[in-house]
Amino acid sequence: MASLNIRNVEKHYGDLRTLKGVNIDVDDGEFLVLLGPSGCGKSTLLSAIAGLAPVSSGQIVIDGVVVNDIESAERDIAMVFQSYALYPTMTVRRNLTFGMRVRGASRQQQDEAVKRVAGILQLDQLLDRKPSQLSGGQRQRVAMGRAMVRQPKIFLFDEPLSNLDAKLRTDMRAEIKKLHQREKTTTVYVTHDQIEAMTLATKIVVMQGGEVQQIGSPQTIYEHPENLFVARFIGSPAMNCISGTLKLEGADAVFVGGAQASAGLRVNLGEISAGYRPYVGKNVVLGVRPEWLAHSADITSPELIQAVVDVVEPTGSDNFVILLACGETLMARFAPGVGESGQRVGLAVDLSKALLFDAATEQRIAR
């Protein structure tokens, strides 16, 4: 149980800066997910927290103590690796107790810890097996057990589910969430899978190019991405991002598709807000999530985006529909059965949710 503060952490390899001034605060009991594409620095940051790789500058603080110069073993953290990294020559029991044995814990303490963890993770039947005799999911559980056995201040997970098949991954995801709800141990979890991030996190850190792009709750990140990178990275299918300009028509702010492809696409955003006013006449990007587009049979109204259905991708629960509107490709999420290839439809944008981004800085424009 502990808080974690990352203050201005930088990491350089020669001229290469893999972490650029990272600041993150994690409160006691939080589940923090570091999310980003490969090479964004998230694993480097995790290694730095674990004490497996030193940082070039900045501080890592656990429970108010700067741990930069404290050995990994003394930081009271536990880590679950993507490859599980189980000790191949030891039985499950000895894998679980290795850390305790190295630290000279008594036989009784070891037995109690194994009993507790094996109970939680259903490892009782597997204790005398070697890792090579376990399935992928069982190895994963042993890896987690090894982390839990010492009751550390902080759990670190490095893409723990990416070696599992889809079904098992979903099960283990729920398992991890349950464990966190029960034990409430502060957790830092690295992944490139946004579903994992959204489902597990109490707080997500989106990273790109060694920089923090946004820190926020899953819902905030989804509905109010700070910039175009986050907007495009989060959400599947991705957010529709349409380039154009902002115009003032009477009292209304109107988005007009400006790029050649989207010329003629108009969205009336309603009465102009103070936030939008400075951007009148400037290049902006309109961001609309697929489910913020509503289907309408009205194919004449100038208030709606007139579009033609190109491809329909039914998923059972939804129909993801690719539409062409004024040369722009849009993705919409309709109810099952709605939409048919070649059909003309009107699209209404949910104006309470649609976002505007500054095309120059790629930052979101506050209303």
Partner 1 sequence: MNTMTTITESATGIDTRALRRNMITLVRRLALYAALIGFAAFFLMPLVVMVFASFKDMDAIAHTSILSFPTHPTVQPWVDAWSSACVGTSCVGLRGFYWNTILMVVPAVVISSLIGAVNGYALSKFSFRGANLVYGLILFGTFAPYQVMLIPIAKMLALFGLSNGIGGLILLHTLYGLPMTTMFFRNYFMTVPQDLIKAAQVDGAGFWTTFLLIILPMSTPMIVVTVIWQFTGIWNDFLFGVSFTSGSSTPIMVALNNLVSTSAGERPYNIHMAGALLSALPTLVVYVLAGKYFVRGLMAGAVKG
110-149 positions binding partner 1, by CB under 8 A: 146
Pseudo-torsion of CA 205, 202, 286, 247, nearest 10°? -100
Closer CB to partner 1, 85 or 338, in the complex: 85
- Between CA 196 and CA 214 the distance in angstroms is 17
Residue 258's nearest CA partner among 270, 246, 268, 248 is: 246
Q: Which one among 8, 27, 57, 103 touches partner 1, defined by CB under 8 A?
A: 103
Is 86 or 221 the residue whose CB approaches partner 1 more closely?
A: 86
Report DSSP letters for 165-226, one per residue: -HHHHHHHHHHHHHHHHHH--EEEEEES-HHHHHHH-SEEEEEETTEEEEEE-HHHHHHS-S
- Name which of 79 and 188 has its Cβ closer to partner 1: 79
Q: How far apart are CB 212 and partner 1 at their closest, in Å?
A: 24
Decide whether 87 or 278 has the Cβ nearer to partner 1.
87
Q: At its nearest, how many Å lie between partner 1 and the CB of residue 308?
A: 51
Residue of 154, 189, 145 lying closest to 74 (CA atoms): 154
Q: Tell me the sheet residues that pair with 245.
A: 256, 283
Q: How far is the CB of 57 from partner 1 (least distance, A)?
A: 20
Tell me the number of residues near partner 1 by CB under 8 A: 22
**Torsions phi, psi of 277, nearest 5?**
-50, -45
Shortest distance in whole angstroms from residue 170 CB to partner 1: 24
Of residues 87 and 252, the one with the C-beta less far from partner 1: 87
Q: Which is nearer to partner 1, 50 or 304 (CB)?
A: 50
Burial class (CB in 10 A: 0-12, 13-18, 19+), 123: buried
Asked if residue 98 binds partner 1 (CB under 8 A), the reply is: yes
Q: Which stretch binds partner 1 (CB under 8 A): 95-103, 176-184, 276-284, 304-312?
A: 95-103
**Between 53 and 338, CB nearer to partner 1:** 53
Are 208 and 222 in contact by the 8 Å Cβ rule? The answer is no
Residue 171 to residue 233: CA distance in whole angstroms: 24
CA distance 208 to 302: 39
Alpha carbon distance, N-terminus to C-terminus of the chain: 39
- φ/ψ of 11, rounded to 5, equals -140, 125
Q: Using CB under 8 A as the criterion, what x/- string covers residues 49-88 for binding partner 1?
A: -xxx-------------------xx---xxx-xxxxxxxx
Smallest gap from residue 18 Cβ to partner 1 (A): 17
CB of 74 to partner 1, least distance (A): 8
CA distance 96 to 110: 9
Q: How far is the CB of 179 from partner 1 (least distance, A)?
A: 18
Tokens standing for residue 88: 């191949």
Q: Which residues, numbered 16-55, are part of the site for partner 1 (CB under 8 A)?
A: 50-52
Report the DSSP pairing between strands 305-314 and 344-349.
Answer: antiparallel
Q: In the complex with partner 1, which residue's Cβ is closer, 71 or 342?
A: 71
Using rule CB under 8 A, residue 92 touches partner 1: no
Binding residue (CB under 8 A) for partner 1 from 16, 102, 166, 360? 102
φ/ψ of 301, rounded to 5, equals: -60, 130
The reply on whether position 99 binds partner 1 by CB under 8 A is yes
**In angstroms, what is the minimal distance from the CB of 84 to partner 1?**
8
Rank residues 78 and 134 by Cβ distance to partner 1 and give the closer one.
Answer: 78
Give the interface with partner 1 as residue ranges (CB under 8 A): 50-52, 72-73, 77-79, 81-89, 98-99, 102-103, 146
